Amino acid sequence: MQSAAPITYAQAACTALASAMADDSRVVVLGEDVGRGGIFGQYAGLQARFGAQRIIDTPISEATIMGAGVGMALAGLKPVVEMRVVDFALCAMDEIVNQAAKNRFMFGGQGRVPLVARLPIGMWSASAAQHSQSLESWFAHLPGVVVVCPSTPQDNHDLLHAALDCGDPVIYMEHKELWGMSADFDPAQHTRLGQARRWRAGADLTLVSWSRQMHWAAEAAATLAEHGVQVDLLDLRTLWPWDRDAVFESAARTGRLMVTHEAVQAAGFGAEIAASAAEAVGCRVRRVGAPRIPVGYAANLEEAARVRPAAIVSAALELMA
């Protein structure tokens, strides 16, 4: 049964986390401002319910927060490490890259790091270059971690549950401009990591995306239908592992694959998908991503970095020609 009222992207994640904490005393949260609910409300009410020993406010030091989370995980806990935004997590890259990601491999599986690092990605309106980055390809490139990018409230609920059950470090990348998005959801629903979701069925063009960009991809697909182009639209949801079977099956049927993402196009994860599909099924490919520029604070400069539906439609029609 679906919930009686819509729930926001932030509330969906909070609901999943509350359920996990109630079921498993090893689940703890640490980060800046988590005690008062987090800057997006994604921890609202949790400290009052579970106490300050499990919803732990920390000093302003990302390296310390992540390092403590890695230590907690190695000691048997299941920490959720809040970095506020991915841009701030750059201060904790050693702990992520050299400690969390590699421990299981370097010590023959004697240690595991069942840690979920919440690193919100994407453009944040009027927040400029140091608060608007989409760095998911950095972490997809990193052996030893799982990378998740939910695009809807339902997925934010289901995938956070799956991430907490993973047993390995998960880089969990919610979008900064999706927190207030509302939709009905089923609290009993579950999904697994590495499984794409089909938003729209079509036989002419495979279109793959994730996170906030999925919503603009869906708008573009509706416009393309008016041009007689039926899009098979896939939400990747997990960037690593990614659903190669779903993408290859679709691309083999349509003969054309396009990937669109908010991140900079150069060396973006779309290149990995496009190259892999071209090698596997011989389809034509196209990428649509942001220009290689910092996101500007001024509205016109910020707009220049956005990949709007019109750009997706234009590229798709060129690919169809």
- For the stretch 39-52, pLDDT in tens is 999 999 999 999 99
131 catalytic residue (yes or no): yes
Beta bridge partners of 56: 30
287, 271 Cβ separation under 8 angstroms: yes
Helices (H) and strands (E) in the chain, counts: 13, 14
Please report, in angstroms and rounded to a whole number, the separation of the first and last CA atoms in the chain.
44
Residue 2 has pLDDT above 90, yes or no: no
pLDDT band at 5 (very low <50, low <70, confident <90, very high): confident
For residue 288, give the 3-state DSSP assignment: strand
At 220-263, the pLDDT tens digits run 999 999 999 999 999 999 999 999 999 999 999 999 999 999 99
Residue keyed to tokens 């939400």: 235
C-alpha span between 248 and 253 (Å, rounded) = 9
Task: Find residue 235's DSSP bridge partners.
Answer: 197, 209
- Outline which parts of the chain fall under CATH 3.40.50.920: 197-320
Among 3.60.20.30, 3.40.720.10, 3.40.50.150, 3.40.50.970, name the CATH number for the domain at 7-183. 3.40.50.970
Where, residue-wise, is CATH 3.40.50.970 in the chain? 7-183
Among candidate residues 217, 276, 215, 218, the one with its CA nearest the CA of residue 251: 276
Q: How confident is the model at residue 85 (pLDDT cuts 50, 70, 90)?
A: very high
Residues 235 and 220: their CA atoms lie apart, in Å, by: 14
Residue 162 CB partners (closer than 8 Å, separation 6+):
148, 190, 191, 192, 193
- CA gap 279, 313 in Å, rounded: 25
Pairwise CA distance, residues 273 & 318, whole Å? 19
Do the Cβ atoms of 215 and 183 come closer than 8 Å?
A: no
What crossing angle do the helices spanning 269-281 and 244-254 adopt, rounded to 10°? 60
List the CATH code of the domain at 197-320: 3.40.50.920
Contact 204, 256 (CB under 8 A): yes
CA-to-CA separations, 282 to 132, 254, 259, in angstroms, rounded: 35, 11, 15
Q: Tokens in use for 303?
A: 């707009």
